[in-house]
Structure 1
Amino acid sequence: MPVVARVDPKTVFSPEEWDYLTSRSSLRGLWLVAHAWGTILAAIALVTLWPNPLTWLIAVMIVGTRQLGLAILMHEAAHGGLHANRAVNEWVGQWLCAVPVGADLAGYRSYHLQHHKFTQQPEDPDLSLSAPFPITKESYTRKAIRDLTGQTFVKQRLPLFLSLFRRGKTDEEVSHESFVSSGAGKMARFLGVNALMFALFWLAGAGIWYWAVWVMAMATWLSLVTRIRNIAEHACTSTGEDPFSHARTTLAGPIERLLIAPYWVNYHAEHHLFMYLPCYHLPEAHRLLVEKGLIKRMEVRPGYLEVMRLATSRQLA
């Protein structure tokens, strides 16, 4: 199958517009990483200072979404967007974004660029995430329950943990259901960084909240919002030749950005059209595409609830 068609930005944007959209700020890239970790620490501080079921639930949801945010910023690093210095970009993307949530920057980049090359085509490594949709509401409910009860987490992570004790198995890959990377070495790095985090929590007198918030968020809310993200990006979009229709943009409101879609991940159609734009310029790219009338060729939904209605529209036989 041939690679998907590419859009020449010169046919869409003026030179001035394109110069702005492609401009990168290393300071802003590092700020986004600091923002993710700062939000995580603020949420944990909230429940530490006012421990009750409501603050715990809020903290778990916010931390789980920022764990997804770290994966999104790893994705930004995979496109070279966190820092102009390649060594800094790779180190920050790997050790401050990828490894703490069980991912690996190099492994992710390798398969993710294949996803861009063959989006929604048989060779797309992410096609299995979108191909089954639409599904029934009952099917989605079962999946969401597995996410929120930790079953998805155990299913994905336990085999990776057990790989530490297997001899002779060196195959490594990135899960198509999540950003998690397999392989004993990658799992060892994940456990090592998390052991260091637990030690820091413990020294700060908040060891219990490492388990009750950081790990709980990773085991529950992160699984759910990762699933919602995967559905929103490509489920029920076109597999035809027009590259404007291969991905979806979801117009997220403030609550959705806080709890589901951080760091402009909802502008996925714009990202696929012009994949090397820094994430913080995607809203402006969207505005310009609306202004130029090209948005009519794109799959755009007004919110995640509308996307989920579409994705779960299949009726029971």
Structure 2
Amino acid sequence: MTIVKPIIPENFYRPSAWQTLLYVVYGLSLSLIPCYMIGLLFETSIPMVLKIVLSLPCMVVAGYGGFMLAVAGHEGFHFTLHPNRHVSGALGVMISSLVPGAFAVGFFASHWEHHRYTNQPSDPDCKTFSRFRTFFQRLFFARLAANRNYLRYTLAMAAGRDLGFKYKPPFSRSEMQMFALFNVGCQIVVVTCFAVLAWAHTYVFLQYVAVPMVGIIFIGGLSPYQMHAGTGLGLGYDSRTNSSAFWTLLQAGSNYHNEHHLYPRVPCWRLPQVHRILLREDFYKGGDMCLEPRFWAAFMQASSTYQLAATVDVDSETDDFNET
């Protein structure tokens, strides 16, 4: 079904240095402050079982903060962090590399294909995430499987190889190779620093690195299903927006995923404003677009029997992503 997208203000597309900085500071704060609170909790005299139970919400929030930093790689390669697309991509790589195992360049190559063929046979996300059928498979293994793919793609591009995706990113192969090498270098530096920290200050490493990483694996595993499981085909129908204010606080706007697919060059932190425009224009009224205002329903989606898989045998010839 063809839709008509409301026109949004041109300045929504314009990157902002101070807003990018605020996004990074917010992600770091959301990650580190709960870790500090866990440390305070374990210094109390309450029973150990109670300490562990009370620390779990902090771990989840810290995971969302770390996931925000990883999502900066996504933002960078949608060119929302800086007016120069090369600088935007490099910033995305550097910020996301604060999360060990976040290979933004490999993700980028795959993600470009995902936008062009969302929920279709050539969508790489369908191939990766449809393998996991239960809530706990998705929780524990989905993000690890995706990150393994992104690592493999990054290393292949660093070696100058073509990945074979049909939809090519807006960079030459040599530029992609340089990005990939830069990504590998950033990860080596970060992992080395964290290894030294683990050796010299094990408790600090566990508190401020290991705790968010566990949360990131869980959150990143469920996220694709919350955004796409049970959705349809075509712009406006192939993605889900979870519009609860709690999700916006935890994800800084990237929870407005339908808006992201409709306007992929808009920074995630402006997507709530885009959503309000769509509501004002009755874009969601009377349609089959996936809009979920309930907070807990996002976890129901992640455990839904709907599988993230293509429902058609051939790819659409319509390039909705190019038309954005």
Q: Same fold (TM over 0.5)?
A: yes
Q: For the Cα contact (< 8 Å) 1:199–1:207, is it kept in 2?
A: no
Structure 1 distance, partners of 2:301, 2:23, is: 32
One-letter code of the match for 2:212? A
Deviation at 1:199, TM superposition (A): 4.1
Structure 1 residue 91, shift from structure 2 partner: 3.1
The answer to whether 1:215 aligns with 2:203 is: no
- Separation in 2 of the partners of 1:88 and 1:63? 28
Residue among 230, 247, 257 paired with 2:224: 230
> CA 1:154 to 1:188, structure 2 compared with 1: closer, same or farther past 3 Å?
farther
Give distance in 2, aligned partners of 1:311 and 1:47. 27
Give the aligned residue type for 1:65: Y
User: 1:21 Cα shift?
Assistant: 2.5
| 8 Å CA contact 2:225, 2:301 repeated in 1 | no
Deviations 1:93-135, CA, capped at 9 Å, x for gaps: 11221353312233222221111111111111112356579x5
Pair 1:245 & 2:234 matched:
no
What is the CA–CA distance in structure 1 between the aligned matches of 2:78 and 2:35, rounded to whole Å?
Answer: 30
Deviations 1:20-53 (A, max 9, x none): 4323312101221122123323233323344253
- How does 1:173-184 map onto structure 2 within 5 Å? none
| Equivalent position amino acid for 1:120 in 2 | N
Asked if 1 retains the 8 angstrom alpha-carbon contact of 2:260 and 2:266, the reply is yes
The number of residue pairs the alignment matches comes to 274
Q: Deviations over 1:64-119 (max 9, x none)?
A: 11221112121111111112344542332112213533122332222211111111
Unaligned runs of at least 5 residues, structure 2: 43-50, 153-158, 164-179, 307-324
| Superposition map of 1:260-275 within 5 A | 261-275=250-264
- For 1:294, the aligned partner's letter is F
Is the 2:31–2:62 Cα contact (8 Å) retained in structure 1?
yes
TM-score between both structures, scaled by the size of structure 2: 0.70
- Partner letter of residue 93 of structure 2? Q
Shift, 1:232, TM fit? 1.2
| Offset of residue 141 of structure 1 | 3.9
Q: 1:118 to 1:143 in 2, by over 3 A?
A: closer
Q: Structure 2 CA distance, aligned partners of 1:217 and 1:44?
A: 8
Consecutive unaligned residues of structure 1, counting only runs of 5 or more, are 163-168, 174-182
Whole-angstrom distance in 1 between the partners of 2:107 and 2:148: 20
Quick check: 1:292 aligned with 2:281?
Answer: yes
Provide the rounded CA distance (Å) in 2 between the counterparts of 1:33 and 1:213: 16
**Is the 2:38–2:207 Cα contact (8 Å) retained in structure 1?**
no
Other-structure match for 1:115:
114
Match of 2:47 in 1: none
- Asked whether the 8 Å contact 1:270–1:286 carries over to 2, the reply is yes
Structure 1 residues 249 and 129: CA distance shift in structure 2, 3 A: farther
Q: CA-atom RMSD, angstroms? A: 3.7
1:192 aligns with: 189
Q: Percent identity?
A: 22
1:27–1:83 CA contact under 8 A, matched in 2: no
Please give the per-residue CA displacement for 1:260-289, whole angstroms capped at 9, x wherever unaligned. Answer: x41212100011011111112111111111
Q: AA paired with 1:283?
A: P
Identify the range of structure 1 (109-118 vs 89-98) with the bigger mean alpha-carbon deviation: 89-98
Q: What is the CA distance between 1:233 and its match in structure 2?
A: 1.0
Say whether the 8 Å CA contact 2:239–2:257 is kept in structure 1.
Answer: yes
Q: Secondary structure of the equivalent of 2:121? A: coil
CA distance in structure 1 between the aligned counterparts of 2:135 and 2:193, rounded to whole angstroms: 36
Gap change, CA 1:30 and 1:200, over 3 Å in 2: farther
Change (3 A) 1:285 1:78: same
Q: How does 1:35-50 map to 2 (within 5 A)?
A: 35-50=26-41
Query: Mean Cα displacement is larger for which, 61-70 or 124-133?
Result: 124-133
CA–CA distance in structure 1, aligned partners of residues 266 and 70 of structure 2: 17
